[in-house]
């Protein structure tokens, strides 16, 4: 892996070395290319990796994703390979949904819980080939996954560092991949997985993403990472391709109504105060909970919760005005405190102040009106506004191209 030579500051990581732990922040396999376009030189952290917060302007990066295409480095995401004769029953016990519904060559969104039915994390299961799975998530879960293997003939290996990954998101993403020579990529349906020859290796492509838009994720061995980046940007040059950092992605995912660990819920294993976690029902994920299958982690507690009633609803809010409602309290119109905003942005595509919020039941019915307490400042002068907000049931931004197959050519 290269990287050290060019930066002089950042040490390349050799994961086969016993000393790799001495490095606090690993450069991604795309580091040399990221650094070259990272005009701001603002590096954030995602688990073990350096992850650019923004390359040159988070708003422009956001618009690239909505109007052309944007590239986001996914390498730091946790990637666990789950294989062996019992891979399916083991996953079925781990997550709350029916895993057999995710056929080979398909990807499925899922959520997994503690025995107490509290969400540990959400993520995606990639059914790579018959009986071979990859579980991807934001947080690290090796310990929990190994705990889950007891009694199953299954192997879990952490391949986070063995796979370099890029998300290519936006309306011109399909055309870019076609121009890159991925024949037939336009026929992939949402959540499909396909393999394409790449250099002396192969490139795995999934039609997935965290933007709620047309987009793909590209998975390759780290030694081909730079080649992938170069060929992608070459093919996308006339299609408006741009690198995109964490800040732009954060806006995109709120518009798509996607929740994120650490923002919209506390991962149960990282939570000390046990009442601060959420169940899948309380995150609007009841469609992911399938009581038709036998034992799964949290089943008993979730059955009890279903009978007893939930504590919270996670809602999408359309808020009057143009002030983002970050960290705001949510009140009824009668000014009774009922919850908090978990994520909020000014949405350039919806042209609205939007938010995800966690409110106490029974509040949170579609169309219900709330007041949101927003603090904002202009040149250090602070003001407060109690903005009206409505619970909406539709996703803030969901263009038809998101599901269109084949997507439009550019």
Backbone dihedral region for residue 240 (phi beyond 0: left; psi -120 to 50: alpha; all else: beta): left
Binding to another protein by residue 380, rule CB under 8 A?
A: no
The three-class DSSP label of residue 7 is: helix
Instruction: Between 26 and 296, name the residue whose CB sits nearer to another protein.
Output: 296
209 counts as binding another protein under rule CB under 8 A: no
Q: How far is the CB of 253 from another protein (least distance, A)?
A: 29
Q: Which is nearer to another protein, 120 or 352 (CB)?
A: 120
Write the binding mask 60 to 99 for another protein: x where contact by CB under 8 A, - elsewhere: -----------------------------x---xx-----
Calculate Rg over the CA atoms of the chain.
22
- 156 in helix, strand or coil? strand
Which window, 21-29, 113-121, 319-327, 378-386, contacts another protein (CB under 8 A)? 113-121
Phi/psi of residue 33, nearest 5 degrees: -75, -40
| Least distance between another protein and beta carbon 115 (Å) | 4
Query: For another protein, which is the closer residue by CB, 229 or 296?
Result: 296
Q: How far apart, in whole angstroms, are the C-alpha atoms of residue 307 and residue 245? A: 43
Q: Minimal distance in Å, beta carbon 91 to another protein? A: 12
Residue 113 Cβ vs another protein, minimum distance, rounded to whole Å: 9
Of 14, 100, 115, 304, which one interacts with another protein (CB under 8 A)? 115
Could you tell me where the beta strands, DSSP code E, fall in 25-131? Answer: 42-46, 49-54, 69-73, 78-83, 106-113, 119-129
Following DSSP, what letter does each residue of 234-289 receive, concatenated?
Answer: HHHGGGTEEE--HHHHHHHHHHTT---BTTTB--GGG-SSGGG---TGGGT-GGG-
Site for another protein (CB under 8 A): which residue of 5, 9, 150, 335? 150
Minimum CB separation from another protein for residue 89, in Å?
7
Which residues are bridge partners to 133 per DSSP? 82, 127
Can you tell me which of 59, 67, 129, 147 binds another protein, judged by CB under 8 A?
Answer: 147
Question: Which listed range, 95-103, 109-117, 281-289, 369-377, lies at the site for another protein (CB under 8 A)?
Answer: 109-117
Strand-pair partners of 219: 165, 204
**Least CB distance to another protein at residue 319 (A):** 38
| Candidate segments 156-164, 236-244, 292-300, 385-393, binder of another protein by CB under 8 A | 292-300
**Which one, of 334, 313, 69, 316, lies nearest residue 178 by Cα?**
69
Q: Using the minimum distance from each CB to another protein, give the nearer residue, 88 or 220.
A: 88
Contact call for residue 144 and another protein (CB under 8 A): yes
Q: How far apart are CA 109 and CA 288, in angstroms?
A: 8
Q: How far is the CB of 147 from another protein (least distance, A)?
A: 5
What character string, x for contact with another protein (CB under 8 A) and - otherwise, covers 294-313?
Answer: xxxxxxx-------------
**In 130-258, which ranges are E strands?**
132-137, 155-158, 164-169, 193-198, 201-206, 215-220, 241-243
138 sits near another protein (criterion: CB under 8 A): no
Mask of contacts with another protein, 40-59, x by CB under 8 A?
--------------------
Place of tokens 């080939």: 129
Q: How many helices (H) and strands (E) does the chain have?
A: 9, 19
What is the H or E stretch that residue 339 is in?
A: strand 337-347
Q: Which of 26, 62, 152, 331 binds another protein (CB under 8 A)?
A: 152
> Is residue 148 involved in binding another protein (CB under 8 A)?
yes
Binding site for another protein (CB under 8 A): 89, 93-94, 114-116, 144, 147-148, 150-152, 294-300
């Amino acid at each position: 892996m290269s990287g050290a030579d060019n930066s002089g500051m950042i040490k390349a990581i050799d994961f086969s070395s016993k000393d790799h732990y001495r490095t606090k922040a690993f450069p991604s396999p795309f580091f040399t290319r990221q650094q070259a376009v990272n005009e701001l030189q603002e590096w954030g952290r995602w688990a073990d990796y350096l992850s650019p917060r923004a390359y040159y302007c988070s708003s422009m990066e956001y618009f690239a994703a909505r109007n052309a295409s944007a590239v986001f480095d996914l390498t730091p995401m946790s990637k666990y390979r789950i294989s062996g004769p019992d891979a399916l029953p083991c996953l079925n016990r781990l997550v709350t949904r029916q895993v057999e519904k995710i056929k080979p060559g398909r990807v499925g969104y899922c959520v997994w819980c503690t025995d107490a039915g509290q969400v540990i994390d959400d993520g995606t299961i990639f059914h790579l080939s018959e009986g071979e799975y990859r579980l991807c998530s934001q947080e690290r879960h090796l310990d929990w996954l190994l705990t889950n293997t007891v009694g199953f003939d299954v192997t879990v290996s952490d391949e986070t560092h063995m796979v370099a990954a890029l998300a290519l998101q936006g309306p011109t993403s399909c055309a870019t991949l076609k121009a890159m020579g991925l024949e037939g990529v336009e026929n992939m349906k949402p959540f499909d997985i396909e393999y394409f020859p790449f250099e002396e290796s192969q490139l795995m492509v999934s039609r997935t993403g965290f933007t709620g838009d047309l987009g793909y994720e590209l998975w390759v061995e780290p030694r081909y990472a730079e080649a992938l980046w170069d060929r992608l940007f070459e093919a996308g040059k006339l299609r408006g391709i741009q690198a995109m950092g964490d800040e732009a992605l954060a806006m995109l995912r709120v518009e798509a109504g996607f929740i994120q660990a650490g923002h919209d819920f506390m991962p149960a294993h990282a939570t000390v105060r046990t009442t601060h976690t959420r169940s899948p029902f309380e995150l609007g994920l009841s469609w992911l909970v399938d009581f038709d299958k036998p034992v799964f982690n949290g089943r008993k507690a979730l059955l009890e919760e279903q009978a007893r009633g939930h504590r919270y609803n996670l809602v999408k809010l359309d808020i009057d005005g143009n002030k983002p409602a970050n960290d705001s309290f949510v009140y009824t119109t009668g000014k009774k405190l009922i919850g908090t905003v978990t994520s909020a942005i000014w949405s350039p595509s919806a042209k609205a102040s939007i938010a995800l919020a966690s409110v106490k039941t029974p509040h949170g019915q579609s169309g219900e009106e709330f007041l949101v307490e927003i603090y904002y400042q202009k040149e250090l002068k602070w003001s407060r506004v109690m903005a009206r907000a409505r619970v909406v049931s539709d996703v803030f931004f969901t263009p038809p191209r998101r599901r269109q197959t084949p997507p439009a050519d550019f």
